[in-house]
Amino acid sequence: MALSCSNLCSNLSLTRLCGLRTNRISNGLYFPYGSCQSRLPLCRHYSSSKVRRGIGRYVASSLQRVNTKYEGFLKRRFPRFYQLYHTFTEGFKLLFRDAKDVQRIKAKMFSDGVQFKDLPYREMEKLRQFRRDMIKAVPLVVISIPPFANYLVFVLMYFFPRQLLIPHFWTPQQKEEFQGLYHSLRAQHHWSVLKGLESTSQQVKDGQLQRRLKDLCATVQSGAIPKVSEILAVRSLFSGPPLGIKRMSVDQMRLVSPLLFLTPHLPGFLIGRRLNNHGLVLLQLDRALSRLGPHQLSDSELRKACYVRGLHSNSVGINQYREWLSQWLQVSSSLKDSEVSLLLHSIVFLSANYPKGASRH
């Protein structure tokens, strides 16, 4: 009798202890001999994945609060450094966004078998610009490889932003300043290109074509803008000798290279290859833009499209930009791939005197 009472008390104590333990969780009674199925909802409710997500959200919100306080501190105490810091953080966001867009475009090209020339205009322009930016960024990445070299890189980027940084990391003021500077350097070669054409015209055996080329150069040198028909009248000279993209003299190639922001300080065969590649990309961009319609471009896209093709002026209005781009597309839409050299020289023909020159449509 005493033994049975002792067993009853021990079972009751165990039951009460287990009940107290589970009351902290679910207000229910927990029996150690119960089915395992009754405990599955609790396991699912407190799964490790939900705990990890909760911890992740908490850490992210905490870091965001700390970052906001840090930015506020920099803005109050070190405004110039804050501007640099803000420009870099926003630049990295833009760069990562562009990288994702490029990855998506290339994945589509691979999966659908789409060639570069068949892409929509905006996607084609995205790939072209991203490639140029990455080529410019490579030397900076190489410099930063040695240990502790990142500190030197930061100093170099601060003092030489135009030479070392891609446009993602320029302030709006720097973008305007640097684009104006690059264009002025490009414009310095306009008259050299025309002089080179005049000199090359002596090699043209057809008297009529020689006279047309000289008249075209004289028109631009007089401060006027030639007609589209005057430019296309000499197209045969730019598909073969002496001005075809693969038949030009090395000296003329060196004069044309800065029009596309390409260095002329390379061996002749490399200059010719680069001019041909960039010229074909520009021609394909023009064809894609014609399919889209230039009226579909936003104001910023329109200015950028004209800048790539040689026009940059603070005194030019949006309507004038559209008019000029329409004239450019009239020329490019008439050209074959073998006549891409004429497209490159049209940077001088159409933009050297715009908007001062009298248009001769």
> Which tens digits make up the pLDDT trace of 312-342?
988 889 999 999 999 999 999 999 999 999 9
pLDDT band at 40 (very low <50, low <70, confident <90, very high): very low
Q: Quick one: pLDDT at residue 21?
A: 39
Q: Quick one: pLDDT at residue 359?
A: 52
Neighbours of 257 (CB within 10 A): 21
Q: Quick one: pLDDT at residue 361?
A: 52
Give which of 197, 219, 191, 225 is closest to 330, Cα–Cα: 225
b or e along 204-234 (b: 16 or more beta carbons within 10 Å of the residue's beta carbon)? beeeebbebbbebbebbeeebbbbbebbbbb
pLDDT at 304 over 60: yes
Q: Quick one: pLDDT at residue 30?
A: 42
Specify whether the CB–CB gap between 307 and 139 falls below 8 A: no
What is the average pLDDT score of the chain? 84
| Long-range CB contacts for residues 310-319, cutoff 8 Å, separation at least 24 | 310/186, 310/259, 310/346, 310/347, 310/348, 310/350, 310/351, 311/350, 311/351, 311/354, 312/179, 312/180, 312/183, 313/354, 313/355, 314/180, 315/355, 316/354, 316/355
pLDDT at 34 over 80: no
pLDDT band at 16 (very low <50, low <70, confident <90, very high): very low
Specify whether the CB–CB gap between 320 and 186 falls below 8 A: no
> Which tens digits make up the pLDDT trace of 246-260?
999 999 999 999 999
Q: Which two tokens stand for residue 344?
A: 């490159």
Q: Quick one: pLDDT at residue 185?
A: 95
> Which tens digits make up the pLDDT trace of 95-152?
999 999 999 999 999 999 999 999 999 999 999 999 999 999 888 778 777 877 766 7
- What does the angle CA 94 – CA 99 – CA 105 come to, to the nearest 5 degrees? 125
The CA distance from 14 to 8, in Å, is 10
